[in-house]
């Protein structure tokens, strides 16, 4: 596995982060070192082992489909300055 500048820039783009030149120079060797260390997991035999997505056994937690209380429109809009006519305002979509 080759972790290079191109791959790092691609991963950053997927994660919606723009890295400047200094950050790329700093992060690249660090991430290489970390991923190389993590690769040692491949030494463990996990044939026929099921993954544990949770540490304790949990069954599906379903709730009744009942009406509940939710935030008022004013409250929901109270935490941002980007709003207009009772809507959240975002950047241009098209």
Which spans of this chain sit near another protein (rule: CB under 8 A)? 1, 7-8, 11-12, 14-19, 23, 26-27, 30-31, 33-35, 37-42, 44, 46, 49-56, 58, 61, 63, 71, 75-76, 78-82, 88-93
Q: Cβ of residue 51: shortest distance to another protein, in angstroms?
A: 3
Phi, psi of 78 (to 5 degrees): -75, -10
In 1-94, DSSP assigns E strands to 83-84, 87-88
| Pick 16 or 85: Cβ nearer another protein | 16
Task: Report the interhelical angle of 5-14 vs 21-38 (nearest 10°).
Answer: 100
């Amino acid at each position: 596995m080759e972790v290079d500048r191109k791959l790092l820039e691609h991963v950053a783009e997927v994660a919606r982060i723009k890295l400047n030149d200094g950050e790329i120079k700093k992060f690249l060797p660090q991430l290489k070192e970390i991923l190389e260390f993590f690769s040692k997991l491949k030494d463990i035999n996990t044939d026929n082992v099921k993954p544990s997505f949770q540490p304790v056994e949990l069954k599906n937690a379903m709730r009744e489909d009942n009406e509940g209380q939710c935030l008022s429109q004013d409250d929901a809009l109270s935490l941002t300055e980007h709003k207009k006519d009772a809507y959240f305002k975002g950047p241009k979509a098209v």
